[in-house]
């Protein structure tokens, strides 16, 4: 056995894998515990976590027997109250108004300000994007709900960016903090947000302020990673120049490091905006108001046309904020002489002020410019409903035949195969794969992470999750790779494909449930197709990115050597694009895991269903344990893929 373990070639790996499978099958028949983990061996971590949170919320008190004694619950609820102050101002400004004498900003004012801001950051194209996006919200009758969401976003994004900036600075300066924080960020980014919504509800309550906390937990990690990356990528020569000029550490940070990393920091801001908008929609489940709440209500009442319209409104906001933030990231810093007059230094600010005063005056005398009358708005919901009804009537038999075939002939056998796999076999195979790709350290780490769902008593749900995510991921990877390869061969086609990817990636995850429920009803097939639609985008994007980034000079050189198109693709382009393609596979898996809890809303029986049930009963321990199981699946996949990519790069001489 030791000689086989030392043999890391393909033959040794295959022999050991076969030995593990055979031994696991034998053990499952000879020893029942190898197939079904005994309930008496289950570690009640969920119960311990629930007891801890009960103590934290109801029993823990600070400054006991003093005039300022308070509980942890009072502290967290007090923090929620603090967050509600800027949120109340934002809502008054855009939605509810301050009082009868001072109403909210008219729609014409917001549209004009969006256009002015767009022109400032990116010229006429960005101005049209900003202005027309907000005009769409007014014309299609979703203005109030959209402004509720927008008010929440513009308060949450600065808080998320400041927290991410702080963590990013600390991670870039102190190696120990980065070592401690990185695994936590990995866990938070791979854990479905539903899992940590439960403890947030227990500690902070429900409503917009707790939704901001949940959003920060979700959105801060990618922002912090961008900030840390930007600050660590600054050339040493620039830092030495700052030191030679006598900069203190604080001056070096704000005067040298931050300006030099401006582009990357603004990419982090863009990520924070998009993550915030995505999470605020999900946070409607814990009381966040706005478009997310209305979308969820429409879905629950099967008003699919209205749900699509509300989802498109979220997409419009996301596209507008994404384009404006990207344009600002690309905007070169302006060099203006200090002696220049104020109106010359800040012409757009002066223009915005003049427009606000003018538009407020017009809206005061023309009510239609303040709140667009319903008679002047339009709706696509009846059209969508008619199309949905037509599809349901005319395609029902064909769709149900396809659904039954997929379930009975393909999906259920795959699910039964995964569920019948002995846990000892699966854990051992993952550990063996880890050893093959990265040695003993990776083997032990991945093996222990996969063992976690076993000892938590969630093996069946975990295998159901692996079956669903694995099936969707394989289809995503194959289709996304093939489509990306085809699109990358033509510049115009690749630009169109990337644009479509940008558009579909802004869709709220809830939206993908609409067509699958409409066509395939509630089933595993519906959940898998929803995951597929949501997760295929990064595979297409990163495949195109990797292939388009191959040096044209290199392609010209190998073409002159007489290689065919197929040889050039297989021997040159794909190996060089491998890092980006592997990143696409990684993102497919993480996005598929993100959808697990959402697809549980249409009746799955996996770890997402565990989280959804725990959310309904505010069972903190059950939600966090199921969330950790999903997070560990993502981390295992990430580590194995990264190890494989490193090996291939080394073999190809790219590392």
Range of the domain at 561: 383-420+456-651
Q: Which of 285, 182, 192, 259 is nearest to 224 (CA)?
A: 182
The answer on 302 and 260 residing in a single domain is: yes
The b-or-e profile of 529-566 (16+ CB within 10 A means b, else e) is bbbbbbbbbbbbbbbbbbbbebeeeeeeeeeeeebeee
pLDDT at position 458 is: 92
425: in domain: no
Q: Which of 322, 352, 379 is the last residue of a domain?
A: 379
The pLDDT confidence band at residue 45, using thresholds 50, 70 and 90, is very high
pLDDT digits (tens, 9 = 90+) for 234-250: 777 888 788 788 787 78
Give me the mean pLDDT over the 46-72 stretch: 83
**C-alpha distance from residue 324 to each of 126, 327, 331 (Å):** 6, 5, 10
CB atoms within 10 A of CB 262: 14
Which of the given ranges, 208-217, 498-507, 558-567, 595-604, has the highest pLDDT on average?
208-217
The answer on 416 and 310 residing in a single domain is: no
- Distance, in Å, from the CA atom of 257 to the CA atom of 291, rounded to the nearest integer, reads 39
pLDDT at position 335 is: 64
User: What percentage of the chain has pLDDT greater than the value 70?
Assistant: 96
Which of the given ranges, 363-372, 448-457, 610-619, has the highest pLDDT on average?
448-457
pLDDT at position 334 is: 65
359: in domain: yes
Determine the straight-line distance between the first and last CA of the chain, rounded to whole angstroms.
32
3-state secondary structure 63-130: CCCCCCCEEHHHHHHHHHHHHHHHHHHHHHHHHHCCCCCCCCCCHHHHHHHHHHHHHHHHHHHHHHHH
Least confident of 37-46, 100-109, 593-602: 593-602
78, two tokens: 């007090």
pLDDT digits (tens, 9 = 90+) for 106-160: 999 999 999 999 999 888 988 999 999 999 999 988 898 899 989 988 899 889 9
499, two tokens: 């644009």
The answer on 372 and 395 residing in a single domain is: no
The answer on 467 and 415 residing in a single domain is: yes
406: in domain: yes
570: in domain: yes
Q: Which residue has the higher pLDDT, 10 or 631?
A: 631
Q: Which residue has the higher pLDDT, 645 or 415?
A: 415
Give me the mean pLDDT over the 383-391 stretch: 82
The answer on 89 and 128 residing in a single domain is: yes
The answer on 461 and 549 residing in a single domain is: yes
45: in domain: no
The pLDDT confidence band at residue 342, using thresholds 50, 70 and 90, is low
In the chain, the number of structural domains is 2
The answer on 401 and 332 residing in a single domain is: no
581: in domain: yes
Q: Domain holding 113: CATH number?
A: 1.10.3720.10
458, two tokens: 């969630």
477, two tokens: 């990877």
Q: Which of 379, 411, 443 is the last residue of a domain?
A: 379
Task: Collapse the DSSP code of 379 into the 3-class scheme (helix H, G, I; strand E, B; otherwise coil) and give the result.
Answer: coil
Report yes or no: 515 and 507 within 8 Å, Cβ to Cβ: no
Task: Provide the whole-model pTM.
Answer: 0.83
Q: Which of 379, 410, 445 is the last residue of a domain?
A: 379
The answer on 395 and 349 residing in a single domain is: no
The answer on 361 and 216 residing in a single domain is: yes
The answer on 262 and 328 residing in a single domain is: yes
Looking at the DSSP bridge assignments, the partners of residue 70 are: 62
The answer on 401 and 333 residing in a single domain is: no
pLDDT digits (tens, 9 = 90+) for 188-216: 877 888 788 888 888 888 888 888 888 88
pLDDT digits (tens, 9 = 90+) for 522-533: 778 888 888 888
């Amino acid at each position: 056995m030791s000689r086989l373990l030392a043999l890391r070639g393909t033959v040794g790996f295959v022999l050991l894998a076969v030995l593990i499978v055979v031994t696991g099958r034998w053990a499952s028949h000879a020893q029942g515990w190898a197939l079904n983990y005994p309930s008496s061996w289950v570690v009640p971590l969920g119960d311990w976590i629930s007891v801890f949170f009960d103590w934290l919320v109801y029993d823990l008190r600070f400054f006991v027997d003093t005039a300022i004694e308070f509980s942890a619950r009072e502290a967290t609820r007090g923090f929620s109250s603090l967050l509600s102050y800027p949120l109340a101002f934002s809502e008054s400004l855009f939605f509810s108004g301050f009082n009868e004498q001072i109403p909210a900003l008219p729609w014409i004012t917001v549209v004009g300000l969006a256009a002015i801001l767009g022109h400032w950051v990116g010229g006429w194209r960005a101005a049209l994007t900003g202005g027309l996006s907000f005009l769409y919200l007014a014309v299609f009758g979703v203005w109030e709900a959209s402004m509720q969401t927008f008010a929440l976003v513009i308060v949450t994004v600065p808080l998320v960016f400041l927290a991410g900036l702080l963590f990013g600075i600390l991670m870039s300066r102190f190696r120990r903090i980065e070592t401690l924080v990185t695994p936590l960020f990995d866990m938070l980014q791979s854990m479905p947000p539903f899992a940590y919504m439960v403890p947030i509800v227990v500690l902070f309550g429900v409503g917009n302020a707790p939704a901001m906390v949940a959003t920060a937990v979700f959105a801060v990690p990618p922002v912090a990673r961008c900030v840390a990356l930007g600050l660590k990528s600054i050339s040493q020569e620039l830092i030495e120049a700052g030191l030679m000029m006598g900069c203190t550490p604080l001056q070096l940070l704000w005067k040298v490091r931050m300006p030099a990393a401006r582009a990357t920091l603004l990419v982090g801001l863009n990520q924070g905006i998009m993550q915030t908008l995505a999470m605020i929609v999900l946070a409607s489940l814990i009381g966040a108001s706005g478009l997310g709440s209305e979308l969820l209500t429409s879905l629950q009442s099967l008003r699919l046309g209205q749900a699509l319209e509300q989802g498109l409104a979220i997409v419009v906001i996301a596209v507008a904020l994404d384009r404006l933030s990207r344009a600002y990231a690309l905007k070169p810093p302006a060099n203006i002489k200090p002696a220049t007059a104020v109106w010359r230094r800040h012409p757009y600010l002066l223009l915005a002020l003049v427009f606000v005063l003018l538009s407020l005056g017009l809206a005061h005398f023309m009510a239609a410019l303040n709140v667009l009358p319903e008679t002047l708005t339009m709706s696509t919901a009846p059209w969508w409903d008619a199309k949905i009804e037509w599809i349901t009537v005319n395609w029902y038999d064909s769709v149900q035949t396809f659904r039954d075939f997929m379930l009975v002939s393909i999906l259920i056998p795959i699910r039964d195969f995964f569920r019948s796999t002995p846990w000892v076999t699966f854990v051992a195979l993952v550990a063996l794969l880890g050893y093959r790709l990265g040695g003993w350290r990776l083997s032990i780490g991945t093996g222990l992470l996969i063992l976690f769902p076993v000892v938590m008593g969630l093996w069946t749900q975990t295998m159901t999750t692996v079956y669903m995510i694995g099936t969707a991921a394989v289809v995503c990877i194959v289709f996304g790779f093939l489509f990306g390869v085809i699109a990358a061969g033509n510049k115009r086609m690749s630009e169109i494909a990337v644009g479509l990817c940008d558009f579909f990636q802004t869709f709220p995850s809830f939206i993908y449930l609409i067509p699958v429920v409409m066509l395939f009803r509630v089933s595993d097939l519906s959940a898998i197709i929803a995951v597929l639609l949501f997760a295929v985008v990064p595979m297409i994007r990163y495949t195109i990115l990797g292939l388009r980034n191959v040096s044209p000079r290199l392609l010209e050189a190998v073409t002159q050597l007489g290689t065919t198109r197929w040889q050039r693709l297989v021997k040159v382009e794909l190996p060089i694009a491998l890092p980006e393609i592997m990143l696409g596979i990684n993102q497919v898996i993480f996005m598929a895991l993100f959808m697990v809890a959402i697809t549980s809303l249409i009746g799955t029986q996996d770890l997402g269903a565990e989280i959804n049930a725990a959310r309904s009963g505010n069972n903190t321990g059950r939600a966090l344990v199921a969330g950790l199981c999903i997070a560990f699946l993502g981390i295992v996949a990430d580590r194995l893929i990264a190890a494989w990519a490193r090996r291939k790069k080394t073999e190809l001489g790219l590392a």
